[in-house]
């Protein structure tokens, strides 16, 4: 579903008139906020394959700090490889990396470790490599990255739209304080059941992504 279709789906469930654009009324705008809140909660619940992306670093000799351009800050790491050297990169904590880089003469060689280290001017996460690259290495980061906040009526939501709609509907029921159909608690219980079903189905296709957070 598109952003507008999701808003209208929730409005119909609430027995409200549909709109031609999300910002048409103050109430449809509020429902739009609930849709985005629901989307973010669902994205956080699981490493959805549809959100998967690969950001590849191409190193320069002597340069050990890089930005994961386009990753933002709220992503999940699936795998990191140094494909030039055919090794899997190991994630270490910032404190350990800081000691490697500063307590002795840093080693130049084949990058085998990485640590996250703040953000750049575009608010993308930065990563530090060790040993410091002694040449050009290709290091793809396989990530799941949340979809940007929905703002255009025609943007299609990536995570399962039925989950977004059900979650947003439950949020709207809480805000209205009414139980004309399902109660807000019943709506949330239905959402959680649907979420579990969708994650179970996704897990059969992508077993490496089976861990999720119940929300």
15-58: pLDDT as tens digits: 999 999 999 999 999 999 999 999 999 998 888 999 999 999 99
What would the mean pLDDT of 116-124 be, rounded to a whole number? 94
165-215 pLDDT tens trace: 999 998 999 888 755 555 667 777 777 777 777 777 666 555 555 454 444
To the nearest whole percent, how much of the chain has pLDDT over 70? 90
Looking at residue 153, the DSSP 8-state letter turns out to be T
- Determine the pLDDT at residue 47: 87
Which of the four pLDDT bands, split at 50, 70 and 90, describes residue 154?
very high
- Determine the pLDDT at residue 134: 97
Which of the four pLDDT bands, split at 50, 70 and 90, describes residue 106?
confident
20 closest CA partner among 175, 11, 171: 11
- Determine the pLDDT at residue 213: 46
Is 65's pLDDT higher than 90? yes
Is 79's pLDDT higher than 90? yes
- Determine the pLDDT at residue 215: 47
Helical segments of the chain, H only: 3-13, 26-45, 94-102, 161-176, 184-205
Q: Say how many C-beta atoms besides its own lie within 10 A of residue 197's C-beta.
A: 12
Average pLDDT, the chain: 89
To the nearest whole percent, how much of the chain has pLDDT over 90? 73
Q: Which of 1-5, 20-24, 37-41, 136-140 shows the lowest per-residue confidence on average (mean pLDDT)?
A: 37-41
- Determine the pLDDT at residue 74: 86
- Determine the pLDDT at residue 24: 98
- Determine the pLDDT at residue 191: 79
Name the token pair of 187: 């709506």
User: ∠ at Cα 18 (15, 23), nearest 5°?
Assistant: 125
Domain boundaries, the chain: 3-48+159-209, 51-144
- Determine the pLDDT at residue 180: 52
Give the burial string for 144-182 (b: 16+ CB within 10 Å, else e): bbbbeebeebeeebbbbbebbbbbbbbbbbeeeeeeeeb
What would the mean pLDDT of 108-131 be, rounded to a whole number? 95
pTM: 0.79
């Amino acid at each position: 579903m598109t952003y507008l279709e999701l808003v209208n789906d929730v409005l119909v469930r609430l027995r409200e008139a549909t709109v031609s654009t999300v910002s048409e009324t103050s109430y449809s705008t509020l429902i739009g906020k609930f849709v985005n809140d629901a989307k973010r909660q669902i994205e956080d619940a699981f490493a959805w394959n549809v959100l998967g992306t690969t950001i590849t670093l191409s190193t320069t000799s002597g340069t050990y700090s890089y930005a994961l351009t386009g990753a933002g800050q709220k992503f999940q790491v699936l795998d990191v490889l140094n494909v030039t050297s055919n090794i899997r990169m190991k994630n270490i904590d910032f404190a350990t990396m800081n000691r490697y880089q500063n307590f002795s003469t840093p080693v130049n060689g084949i990058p085998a470790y990485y640590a996250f280290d703040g953000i750049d001017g575009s608010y993308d996460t930065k990563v530090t490599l060790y040993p410091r690259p002694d040449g050009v290495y290709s290091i793809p980061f396989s990530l799941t990255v949340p979809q940007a906040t929905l703002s255009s009526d025609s943007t299609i939501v990536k995570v399962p739209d039925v989950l977004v709609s059900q979650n947003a509907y439950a949020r709207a029921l809480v805000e209205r304080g009414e139980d004309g159909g399902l109660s807000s608690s019943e709506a949330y219980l239905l959402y959680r059941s649907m979420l579990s079903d969708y994650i179970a189905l996704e897990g059969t296709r992508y077993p490496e992504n089976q861990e999720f957070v119940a929300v």
